[in-house]
């Protein structure tokens, strides 16, 4: 019998500063919690030991927040601690997110030596005006330096995260960012449309009329340009917001889209297995208290109904280039979407076109 494959997500909620658009569970100014937090991550991992014995972990993802605000030796130490309670598959993909201002070549050498195999760098833009509008702390130059340091340290699997549609960004500026990203030659690119979350400083500025709402038509043009430029540069568009050179799709994120189980540890981390989704408490201090008491720091859980699971499989499947089996969608609806240029039948599957992918959430709700 084949063994269950799973992913491990590790949430590091510390950042140098908070970017105005960010609604992740992250904090600036909590450095005094770092050492206790690292101990708690190892302790929480151990609490899951029995539940996941016999599972082969094919990926580990240090996300956040900014994991590289922790010393490289600490991330390596955590990785070793995880190896004592779970089995990492041979060749497992081990990713760390990184902010350009937190890494240099010695740091990245130590990270690679410590077992991290893949780097995902939050670059967002190579235009200083756009970086300022996003309230990023780093400059285009520090992103260039960090990428060069990753290469000279020996990272052969690097993702760059980019964001399009910020206030002050034109289609031309976005295309220049894309071209510069391509010229660096990363194996993977994630390109996200800026979304405005009401609870963020950006959301409040938009609500107060101080900053315009991103223009959906301009973002659609930027998305179309992204598809064109990256296809021309040899990247496979394998998920709505993700492109990779052959052989470099992100195993960890593919797991989310393919319904592979995962356990998330750390403040606010989510987990999923067999139709049950659960999540940890968000405030780091509460997380630390619960783990210190020997309690699993669970904040809530949700059992998905069969209908929820069907819709979720459809939504996630259609986000990927491989699409879904055609019988998952009512035939007349599928034909309608194919005729409208939003979906296509490819290799015996139903997949979204680039235009359909830009509208993925709306399209899937209609198709479901
Ligand atoms: S660096 Fe990333 S996680 Fe941290 S505040 Fe900015 S967007 Fe959020």
Say if 272 falls within a structural domain: no
Residue 197 confidence (pLDDT)? 96
Question: Is any atom of ligand 1 closer than 6 Å to the C-beta of 186?
Answer: no
* Protein residue whose Cα sits closest to atom 6 of ligand 1: 19
CATH code of the domain in which 188 resides: 3.20.20.70
Domain hosting residue 116, numbered range:
5-257
Say if 281 falls within a structural domain: no
CA of 223 to the centre of ligand 1 (A): 22
Tell me the pairing of strands 236-239 and 242-244.
Answer: antiparallel
Question: Is any atom of ligand 1 closer than 6 Å to the C-beta of 15?
Answer: yes
Question: Is any atom of ligand 1 closer than 6 Å to the C-beta of 68?
Answer: no
Say if 276 falls within a structural domain: no
Question: Is any atom of ligand 1 closer than 6 Å to the C-beta of 85?
Answer: no
> Is the same domain home to 167 and 44?
yes
Cα–Cα distances (Å) from 228 to 175, 314, 364, in that order, read: 10, 26, 23
> Is the same domain home to 315 and 253?
no
User: What is the rounded distance in angstroms from the CA atom of residue 69 to the CA atom of residue 296?
Assistant: 25
Q: Which residues in the chain come in under a pLDDT of 70?
A: 1, 368
- Dihedral sign (CA 98, 229, 22, 10): negative
Tokens of 193: 């449309």
> Is the same domain home to 64 and 168?
yes
Cα–Cα distances (Å) from 176 to 78, 169, 171, 234, in that order, read: 38, 11, 9, 17
SS3 of 99, please?
coil
Say if 264 falls within a structural domain: no
Say if 301 falls within a structural domain: no
> Is the same domain home to 325 and 206?
no
CA angle, corner 217, sides to 211 and 221, nearest 5? Answer: 115
CATH code of the domain in which 316 resides: 1.10.10.10
* Protein residue whose Cα sits closest to atom 7 of ligand 1: 22
> Is the same domain home to 202 and 331?
no
Which of 257, 289, 321 corresponds to the end of one domain?
A: 257
> Is the same domain home to 250 and 352?
no
163 beta partners: 192
Question: Is any atom of ligand 1 closer than 6 Å to the C-beta of 64?
Answer: yes
Which of 257, 282, 317 corresponds to the end of one domain?
A: 257
CA of 24 to the centre of ligand 1 (A): 7
> Is the same domain home to 334 and 217?
no
Question: Is any atom of ligand 1 closer than 6 Å to the C-beta of 266?
Answer: no
Residue 364 confidence (pLDDT)? 73
Say if 215 falls within a structural domain: yes
> Is the same domain home to 312 and 202?
no
* Protein residue whose Cα sits closest to atom 3 of ligand 1: 65
In total, how many domains does the chain have? Answer: 2
SS3 of 243, please?
strand
> Is the same domain home to 202 and 346?
no
- Dihedral sign (CA 79, 85, 91, 93): negative
Say if 291 falls within a structural domain: no
> Is the same domain home to 59 and 118?
yes
Question: Is any atom of ligand 1 closer than 6 Å to the C-beta of 24?
Answer: yes
Choose among 59, 76, 58: nearest CA to 67: 76
Residue 1 confidence (pLDDT)? 58
Question: Is any atom of ligand 1 closer than 6 Å to the C-beta of 100?
Answer: no
> Is the same domain home to 321 and 252?
no
Say if 115 falls within a structural domain: yes
User: What is the rounded distance in angstroms from the CA atom of residue 98 to the CA atom of residue 17?
Assistant: 14
CA of 254 to the centre of ligand 1 (A): 22
For the entire predicted model, the pTM comes to 0.95
Which of 257, 289, 318 corresponds to the end of one domain?
A: 257
């Amino acid at each position: 019998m084949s063994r269950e494959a799973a992913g491990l997500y590790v949430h590091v909620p510390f950042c140098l500063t908070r970017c105005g658009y960010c609604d992740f569970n992250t904090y600036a100014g909590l450095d005094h919690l770092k050492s206790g937090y690292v101990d708690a991550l190892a302790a929480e991992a151990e609490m899951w030991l029995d539940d996941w014995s016999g599972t082969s972990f094919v990926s580990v993802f240090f996300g956040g927040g900014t994991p590289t605000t922790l010393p490289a030796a600490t991330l390596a130490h955590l990785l070793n601690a995880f190896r004592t309670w779970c089995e990492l598959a041979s060749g497992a993909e081990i990713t760390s997110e990184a902010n350009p201002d937190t890494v240099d070549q010695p740091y990245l050498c130590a990270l690679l030596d410590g077992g991290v195999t893949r780097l995902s760098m939050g670059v967002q833009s190579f235009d200083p005006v756009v970086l300022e509008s996003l309230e990023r702390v780093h400059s285009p130059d520090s992103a260039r330096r960090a990428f060069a340091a990753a290469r000279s340290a020996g990272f052969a699997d690097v993702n760059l995260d980019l964001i399009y549609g910020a206030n002050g960004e034109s289609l031309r500026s976005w295309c220049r960012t894309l071209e510069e990203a391509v010229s660096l030659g990363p194996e993977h690119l994630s390109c996200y449309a800026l979304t405005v979350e009401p609870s963020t400083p950006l959301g409040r500025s938009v609500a107060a009329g101080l900053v315009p709402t991103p223009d959906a038509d301009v973002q659609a043009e930027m998305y179309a340009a992204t598809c064109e430029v990256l296809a021309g540069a040899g990247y496979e568009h394998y998920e709505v917001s993700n492109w990779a050179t052959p052989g470099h799709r992100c195993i960890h994120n593919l797991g989310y889209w393919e319904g592979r189980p995962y356990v998330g540890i750390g403040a606010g981390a989510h987990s999923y297995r067999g139709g049950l989704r659960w999540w940890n408490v968000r405030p780091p201090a509460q997380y630390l208290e619960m783990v210190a008491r020997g309690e699993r720091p669970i904040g809530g859980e949700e059992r998905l109904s069969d209908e929820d699971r069907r819709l979720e499989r459809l939504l996630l499947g259609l986000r990927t280039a491989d699409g879904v089996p055609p019988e998952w969608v009512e035939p007349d609806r599928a034909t309608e979407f194919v005729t409208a240029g939003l979906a296509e039948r490819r290799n015996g599957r139903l997949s979204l076109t680039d235009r359909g992918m830009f509208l993925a959430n709306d399209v899937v709700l209609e198709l479901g």
